[in-house]
Structure 1
Amino acid sequence: MAPTGLLAGAKARILDVATATPPHSYSQTDVLDLYGITDPRIRSLFTNSAIERRNLTIPPADPATGGPRTETQGELLAKHRESGISMGVEALEACLKRLGASVDDVGYLMCVTSTGFLTPGFSARIIREMGLPRTCSRADIVGMGCNAGLNALTGVTGWASAHPGRLAIMLCVEACSAAYVFDDTMRSAVVNSLFGDGAAAVAVRADEQGGGAEGAVGSAGGEGPQILKFSSLLIPEALDAMRYDWDDAQGKFSFFLDRDVPYVVGANAEQVVDTLLAGTGVRRTDVAQWIVHSGGKKVIDSVMVNLGLTRHDLRHTVSVLRDHGNLSSGSFLFSYRRLLDEGVVRPGDYCVLMTMGPGSTIETALVRWDMDGCERQ
């Protein structure tokens, strides 16, 4: 568990967030019909998922079958690379534009993905593609799964706090279409009914004491909520409940979700939130906003029940699942963007961010808006 108490040193802030998806959106029925799936169990799984549409990169039709062509593992990795770079660049460009910043302002880039493996990773490729400074520090988090966005935000916050006034970016890039196996098993159907493609960029900067330095992005301090604390919980007895491993029968990597995942997450959600709030003087009832990973209908319901939340509390989590499916590590940032667009955040509001994924792991963060932060976003 993370230690109690607030983060020390310069307070880092979330300046802004931008998202991107591939151009093609499909309803659940569209996907079923494209692949000619008639099994009533699988069709029911898709249509009762609380997901209406997802952005996907589906391969062209196979003339022999009329359905989408079966892709090799090499083709899936190429999709991961090409679609990931395209979405990642779009999200990062949009984030910088919202800030009034340029690529030259970026001092640190951390990229997160679990839908493929590249060496060099997305960070180096996007630095080259966008022309970020060659001196830009970088890191890649690969394979941590849906919780990884908050794992990475911890690292980005640490860098920003050590370099006050410098702009740090976390970029989640998830081309989930590149991680699909299509067969007639319920194991594959669960995964194929759930995940969508998307990227999200979040900009972080720590306040400088005594005002902003020359060349700093935006005004000195005040842009967005302060990041106050992180807390993690590893559930080792559920280590195999979510995994991405090699499927000999298919000759590809394949994702697996245990049917008990929602209950494992829900049963442990209260403990990690209580640890997050311990030593802060913040009670659970003081938290005005909740941003939870759109892990699936049962996961959302389980978290809601165990934390005593309402459908309104998780409205953005639910709506992102409905419109995009599970976007893996970037899901919570899509919900965060919707919260900002809603314009309801008030000075003094606390917000809990929560992600969960393989390990099994639950990650949380506590942030707080001040007057300037509300006006900025």
Structure 2
Amino acid sequence: MTISLEDARPEELNLLAAGPGPARIAGVGTAVTPDSYTQQELLDLLAITDPKIRSVFLNSAITRRHLTLPPPDAHGNRVPELQGELLAKHTRLAVDMGLRALRSSLDSAGATLADVDYLCCVTTTGFLTPGLSALIIREAGIDPGCHRVDVVGMGCNAGLNALNGTVAWARSNPGRLAVMVCAEACSAAYAFDATMRTAVVNSLFGDGAAAVALVAGDGDAAPGPRVLSFASHIITDAIGAMRYDWDGDQNRFSFYLDPDIPYVVGAHAERVVDRLLAGAGLPRSAIRHWLVHSGGKKVIDAVRVNLGLTRHDVRHTTGVLADYGNLSSCSFLFSYERLLRERVAEPGDYGVMMTMGPGSTIETALVQW
């Protein structure tokens, strides 16, 4: 008899968890770029004097972010980089951060580079061919026969989209190690102008990478939670509310965030979460741990209010936002790492991971320790 994770009752989920079906998160690792700045330091370095733009920076609930700014010219001004320079920056930063996060996740899992059988790399802040996975495999010296895939351009929600596929590979290959790496060099996607569109983006994002190592069919050898199921929802009426497209005036790609996107995402959060939990026969009150994408103060508040969560429930999300800003696809894994460091997750606890991004899309995953 085959049991679907989407349709399984709680007792069936437990049965699946006891067998080789669900993949377990065996390790996690994160990395950032060397230089970090407070919001006030950025305003000073970029010589931003417009009161409205300064207010956007200073009221973002962000204390500090890791960024790689363009070098100053002879007069101390930061000169905007050409698109080619930004792509080169993306390659350099994404490979460096991604490799460090990968190694950290393997250390956490008690594994080595030689154990990696599958590598999925996620990024939105630059386009590479060959992809980030090939570059990391070469730089790390991973077996060139390693299975790999690149998820490019999906945005902040992409970490859970890619995790879904990585979990599926691990379940199909019990005992073999699969790793997902999210590397976002947001410094390589910055534009400099006086518009509010640019100001909102430039006040929010930071550089970061995160990786998770997964394995299925290993019994209790791996200490992390089992990934039980996923649920997704695309808000088609708001498909253009978050996008990364070509800016003809700047002659480069640039982000756009609709001012109403926090409320749009918040209004649809219940639908996808309730569908995720209904598939497992769980009430929302059964979820002890919430790991939500650090999309911005208004996004976090909208999701929290619509799901009836407390500020304590989203403490890791708001903490990551304060210390790193929006790290795009890897944000939720920074929150997951913080939860692990607290050592509060107990066997049997359920958790929900949630990411939001272009589409507009909400992705969720149900995990259990």
Same fold by TM-score, threshold 0.5 exceeded? yes
1:97 and 2:99 aligned: no
- Distance, in Å, in 2 between the alignment partners of 1:100 and 1:276 is 31
* Contact residue 245 and residue 255 of structure 1 kept, 8 A: yes
Deviations 1:181-220 (A, max 9, x none): 1100000000000000000010111014xx6xxxxxxxx5
- Distance, in Å, in 2 between the alignment partners of 1:234 and 1:91 is 29
Aligned length: 357
1:138 and 2:140 aligned: no
Structure 1 unaligned residues grouped into runs of 5+: 212-219, 370-377
Structure 2 residue identity aligned to 1:56: L
The aligned counterpart of 1:69 is 79
The aligned counterpart of 1:372 is none
SS in 2 for 1:299: helix
- Distance, in Å, in 2 between the alignment partners of 1:130 and 1:317 is 31
SS in 2 for 1:145: coil
- Distance, in Å, in 1 between the alignment partners of 2:44 and 2:276 is 45
- Distance, in Å, in 2 between the alignment partners of 1:5 and 1:196 is 38
* Contact residue 5 and residue 229 of structure 2 kept, 8 A: no
Deviations 1:269-288 (A, max 9, x none): 00000000113121100100
The aligned counterpart of 1:266 is 266
The aligned counterpart of 2:333 is 333
The aligned counterpart of 1:156 is 166
1:196 and 2:198 aligned: no
Once structures 1 and 2 are overlaid, which stretch shifts more, 297-306 or 272-281? 272-281
- Which stretches of structure 1, 4 residues or more, deviate above 4 A after TM superposition? 6-9
SS in 2 for 1:275: helix
After the TM superposition, which residues 347-358 of structure 1 pair with which residues of structure 2 at under 5 Å, given as runs? 347-358=347-358
* Contact residue 4 and residue 275 of structure 1 kept, 8 A: no
- Distance, in Å, in 2 between the alignment partners of 1:125 and 1:111 is 10
- Distance, in Å, in 2 between the alignment partners of 1:225 and 1:198 is 23
Q: CA deviation at 1:67?
A: 1.6
1:39 and 2:50 aligned: yes
The aligned counterpart of 1:26 is 37
* Contact residue 106 and residue 113 of structure 2 kept, 8 A: yes
- Distance, in Å, in 2 between the alignment partners of 1:3 and 1:159 is 15
Structure 1 residue identity aligned to 2:141: G
Q: CA deviation at 1:102?
A: 1.2
* Contact residue 109 and residue 222 of structure 2 kept, 8 A: no
SS in 2 for 1:146: coil
SS in 1 for 2:156: helix
* Contact residue 3 and residue 231 of structure 1 kept, 8 A: no
1:232 and 2:232 aligned: yes
Structure 2 residue identity aligned to 1:16: G
Structure 2 residue identity aligned to 1:101: A
- Distance, in Å, in 2 between the alignment partners of 1:50 and 1:124 is 37
- Distance, in Å, in 2 between the alignment partners of 1:340 and 1:278 is 26
After the TM superposition, which residues 171-210 of structure 1 pair with which residues of structure 2 at under 5 Å, given as runs? 171-208=181-218
Selected match of 2:23 from 5, 9, 12: 12
Deviations 1:116-137 (A, max 9, x none): 0000010000000000011100
SS in 1 for 2:119: strand
The aligned counterpart of 1:323 is 323
Q: CA deviation at 1:100?
A: 2.1
The root-mean-square deviation of aligned C-alpha atoms, in Å, is 1.3
Q: CA deviation at 1:52?
A: 0.5
Deviations 1:8-52 (A, max 9, x none): 761111111110000111000111100100000000100000000
* Contact residue 287 and residue 352 of structure 2 kept, 8 A: yes
Deviations 1:47-68 (A, max 9, x none): 00000000001111011x4221
- Distance, in Å, in 1 between the alignment partners of 2:104 and 2:223 is 17
Q: Percent identity?
A: 63
- Distance, in Å, in 2 between the alignment partners of 1:70 and 1:300 is 31
- CA 1:256–1:3 in structure 2 vs 1: closer, same or farther (change >3 Å)? farther
Selected match of 1:167 from 177, 185, 207: 177
* Contact residue 5 and residue 228 of structure 2 kept, 8 A: no
Once structures 1 and 2 are overlaid, which stretch shifts more, 6-15 or 66-75? 6-15
Q: CA deviation at 1:4?
A: 3.4
Structure 2 residue identity aligned to 1:186: M
* Contact residue 154 and residue 357 of structure 2 kept, 8 A: yes
SS in 2 for 1:126: helix
Report the TM-score, using the length of structure 1 for normalisation: 0.93
Deviations 1:151-175 (A, max 9, x none): 0000000000000000000000000
The aligned counterpart of 1:366 is 366
SS in 2 for 1:352: strand
Structure 2 unaligned residues grouped into runs of 5+: none
* Contact residue 206 and residue 324 of structure 2 kept, 8 A: yes
1:84 and 2:94 aligned: yes
Structure 2 residue identity aligned to 1:5: D
- Distance, in Å, in 2 between the alignment partners of 1:256 and 1:166 is 40
